[in-house]
Amino acid sequence: MRVNSKLLTRLTLTGMKNNRKRLIPFLMAATFTIMIFYILTSLAYTPYIISNGEEAFYGAGTIAIMLKIGSRIVAFVSAIFIIYANQFVMKSRKKEMALYGVLGMSKRNITFIMILETVINILITVGIGILAGTFLNKISLLILYKIIKQTPVNGILFETKALINTVVLFGIIFLICLIINVASIRVGNPITMLKSDKTGEKEPKVKVFTFIIGIITLGAGYYIALATHSTFAAAQTLIISILLVIIGTYCLFIAGSIFILKMLKKNERFYYKTRNFISVSNLIYRMKHNAAGLASICILSTAVILLLTCGSSLMLLGENNINNMYPTDVRVEFEDDEKKPEEYYTNIINNAIKKSDVNNAELICRQYESIMLTKEGDSYIYINYLGDIDNNKDVYTVALDDYNRYIGKDIKLADDEILVYTTDEEYKENNQNIMNICDHQYNVVGEADYKALHYIFDPTMALFERYIIVFKNEEDIDSIISGNTLTMNNSEKQTYIGYDIKGTLDKNSMNIFKETVNSIDGNATVSFKEEERTFFYNIYGGAFFVGIFMAILFLIATVMIIYYKQMSEGYEDQKRFEILAKVGLTEREAKKTIKRQVMILFFMPVIAAIIHSVVATGIIRLFLRMILVVDSTVFAAAIGIVCIIFFVIYAIVYKITSGQYYRIVYANVR
């Protein structure tokens, strides 16, 4: 049957109008994802961040990289989410398209309707998304500048490259959705599609192999997360742990949920009660279709909780980290083959201070020597290339005379006696009294004072556990260092000098100071606390900013999956409750049954997500130690607060969507 384009257009618009309860939320969610992608992409290319390859401010290049990485992650998640949500929308359209086929409309005409509908969807979502993104772009830039403590800028720019990237990306995503939709209609039989909702279902069987895989992978993921105790190990195993937990979550939702429900069904005392009988029976069939969706909600919820926790921790601990990295306003580090007297280095600094015309407080000088060792059994030995990297230790050695001056005491050590301070929990638990260091045996007679060398530690590079070892004299240190023959372990005498500034230090004074120091000693590294504070907030503020957008995207995806699940299940359960009402199910019993069923399905993912997040706390905190000092109390408080806030938001979504579900299910039961 030939149908003119005007009629097809009218049928398309009518179909979209009749399906608005499913279509409008889909279009809104797609518009939000497009807006988020456009904002991140346009900020990555804006001259307020990078202009002609030049940074607009110190650290802007790193922010641009994070924005680009964030936009790529958004693109990947958006593709999965839009294609997934499209399946829910299309599910309700199949009967409509089948009806067109039964009435004699050709598959070409039906394809035309679907193409036209897709074009309309693209125009609405991409158009509104880019328009909203353009207006919110400036607000987002101001928020970013506020987070990274930069001076706000005037003006707004329209980024053509971001526009092209957005149109091309989401055009491809909607094209994929169209291909999937057309294929499902062309392959399907119209009569079969019309009767699909009346076709009986077989009770799902427990997938034993999937269930076992789920238990093993989830258990392995949890074990790795809980058994990891070092930063380097966390860096190696975090991704593996995440992948195992994701696989385990999907497997257990798909197979484990059916197993538990069937166990409940076998419990006659529990099962043969009105509300339990209906709830369990319905849930067995619901889990068959929706287990993957529930697992997706769980994974997305976990991602939201952890992203917000890490982001808030970054900002809450910002100033604390800066003070740990830079105990003094100015930090100068020298490396030499031979140890020179402190006066040599202090004279260099005083000369630079005089030339840069900066008033200063008293100079703080620390001299030490560092080497990396690895623990093998009960001994600390030179690094073996084939050894276990996780057992590597950063060892800082200092002579007793220097140590006593640093802490203002007069401690005595006999031959082969040492003082030890370490961050290594395993060492503390063993309470070692003897240390075998590179074929030398020493008696540990006390704990070294961390404050003696705390100026030299950079807490953002804590890949390995650290040791401070105080030896009786320089000769003992040299005997340890000189025995090393591996190039990667070569050590030099290191001197740290730091001081606080009285007043302010401008850019010109900083440059004069650096040039003066480097002209005398080319091995010196000069850094300023104020300069690094700016860099710190630029880097971690940028990460926090991108993390917020990611969390918003995951939250939108979570809410939309929940909404479509409730709508889909509502329409599927409608006829079942009509039948139950006819055989005597009262309105009160129906409400209780519906509420019970919806609550189980709804809160199962978020409870699992909170458990995942709590288990992940340790390994995430260790991983973050690579970039900042993570206070366990602050981190625990952050994850607790985020979990509570997320649960409240989730409960609000439950209240809204469960009401919609009840209206659908019980509309014809009264």
Bigger pLDDT: 619 vs 339? 619
d(CA 237, CA 432): 28
- In this predicted structure, the answer to whether residue 103 has a pLDDT above a threshold of 80 is no
Model confidence at 200, pLDDT cuts 50, 70, 90, reads very low
**Quick one: pLDDT at residue 53?**
72
Q: Of 216-220, 256-260, 332-336, 374-378, which has the strongest mean pLDDT? A: 216-220
Q: In a 3-state reduction of DSSP, which class is residue 401?
A: helix
**Residue 240: both structure tokens together:** 């593996």
Rounded Cα gap, residues 75 and 40, in angstroms: 11
**Residue 490: burial class (beta carbons within 10 Å; 0-12, 13-18, 19+):** exposed
Cα atoms in the Cβ-side hemisphere of radius 13 Å centred on 562: 31
pLDDT of residue 169: 92
Work out the average pLDDT over 260-265: 70
Spatial CA neighbour of 602 closest among 661, 562, 649, 644: 562
**In the predicted structure, residue 222 carries a pLDDT above the cut 90:** yes
Partner residues linked to 519 by β-bridges: none
Tracing tokens 């497997």 back to the chain, one arrives at 251
Q: How far apart are CA 203 and CA 285, in angstroms?
A: 7
Both tokens assigned to 275: 């509300």
Stretch 445-464: mean pLDDT, rounded? Answer: 76
Confidence of residue 453 (pLDDT cuts 50, 70, 90): confident
Q: Return d(Cα 4, Cα 8) in angstroms, integer.
A: 7
Please compute the mean of the pLDDT values over residues 32-53 and round it to a whole number. 85
Distances, alpha carbon 75 to alpha carbons 37, 64, 553, 561, in Å = 7, 16, 11, 18
Confidence class of residue 487 from pLDDT cuts 50, 70 and 90? Answer: very low
CA distance 349 to 359: 12
Q: Grade residue 588 by pLDDT with cuts at 50, 70 and 90.
A: low
Alpha helices (H) along 252-273? 257-266, 268-271
Helix or strand holding residue 592 (H, E): helix 587-624
Comparing CA positions, the residue from 526, 530, 522 lying closest to residue 504 is 530
Residue 627 has pLDDT above 70, yes or no: no
- Mean pLDDT score, 494-517: 82
Band of pLDDT at residue 195, cut at 50, 70 and 90: low
**Locate tokens 């900042």: which residue?**
628
Chain-wide mean pLDDT for the chain?
78
Helices (DSSP H) in 408-483: which residue ranges?
425-430, 474-482
Range among 21-25, 309-313, 327-331 with highest mean pLDDT value = 327-331
DSSP 360: B
CA distances from 26 to 57, 125, 182, 551, 563 (A): 39, 10, 18, 19, 10
Rounded to 5 degrees, what are φ and ψ at 419?
-110, 145
Please enumerate, as own/partner, the contacts of 510-519 that have beta carbons within 8 Å and a separation of 24 or more. 510/356, 512/352, 512/355, 512/356, 513/330, 513/352, 513/353, 513/355, 513/356, 513/358, 516/351, 516/352, 516/355, 516/356, 517/332, 517/348, 517/349, 517/352
* Tokens encoding 558: 């979570």
In contact, 132 and 138? CB cutoff 8 Å:
no
DSSP letters of 63-115?
HHHHHHHHHHHHHHHHHHHHHHHHHHHHHHHHHHHHHHHHTT--HHHHHHHHH
* Burial status of residue 83 (CB atoms within 10 A of its CB: 0-12, 13-18, 19 or more): middle
Quick one: pLDDT band at residue 167, thresholds 50, 70, 90?
very high
Closest by CA to 151, choosing from 283, 37, 48, is 48
Angle (CA) 41 42 47, round 5°: 125
Q: Which segments of 105-230 does DSSP mark as H helices, in order?
A: 107-147, 160-187, 190-194, 208-227
Given this model, what pLDDT does residue 156 score?
64
CA distance 427 to 441: 16
Residue scoring higher pLDDT (376 or 595): 376
Does the pLDDT at position 85 exceed 90? no
Comparison of pLDDT for 380 and 288, the residue scoring more: 380
Which of 214-218, 456-460, 486-490, 523-527 has the lowest average pLDDT? 486-490
Mean pLDDT of 588-612: 75
Residue 488: pLDDT band with limits 50, 70, 90: very low
Q: In this structure, what token pair is assigned to residue 238? A: 């975090």
| pLDDT tens digits for range 115-132 | 888 899 999 999 999 998
Lowest mean pLDDT across 72-76, 137-141, 660-664? 660-664
**DSSP 3-state assignment of 415?**
coil
Q: Quick check: 389 pLDDT over 80?
A: no
> What pLDDT score does 168 carry?
93
CA distances from 39 to 31, 139, 297 (A): 12, 10, 25
Q: Is the dihedral of CA 325, 326, 330, 333 positive or negative?
A: negative
3-state helix, strand, coil in the chain (%, to 5): 70, 10, 20
Greatest mean pLDDT among 280-289, 423-432, 586-595, 642-651 lies in 642-651
Predicted pLDDT at 172: 93
Residue 274 CA: distances (Å) to CA of 586, 588, 601, 665: 11, 12, 19, 18
Report the alpha-carbon distance of residue 218 to residue 56 in Å, rounded: 46
- Of the given ranges (312-316, 381-385, 411-415, 549-553), which has the lowest mean pLDDT? 381-385
- What single-letter DSSP state applies at residue 29? H
Confidence of residue 74 (pLDDT cuts 50, 70, 90): confident
Sign of the Cα torsion 517, 519, 525, 529 reads: positive
Which of 156-165, 212-221, 271-280 is the least confident region?
271-280
Percent residues over pLDDT 90 in the chain: 7
Read off the pLDDT band of 235 (50, 70, 90): confident
- Is the pLDDT at 94 greater than 60, yes or no? yes
Instruction: Judge if pTM exceeds 0.75.
Output: no
In angstroms, the CA 12 to CA 499 distance is: 74
The mean per-residue pLDDT over the stretch 409-431 comes to 83
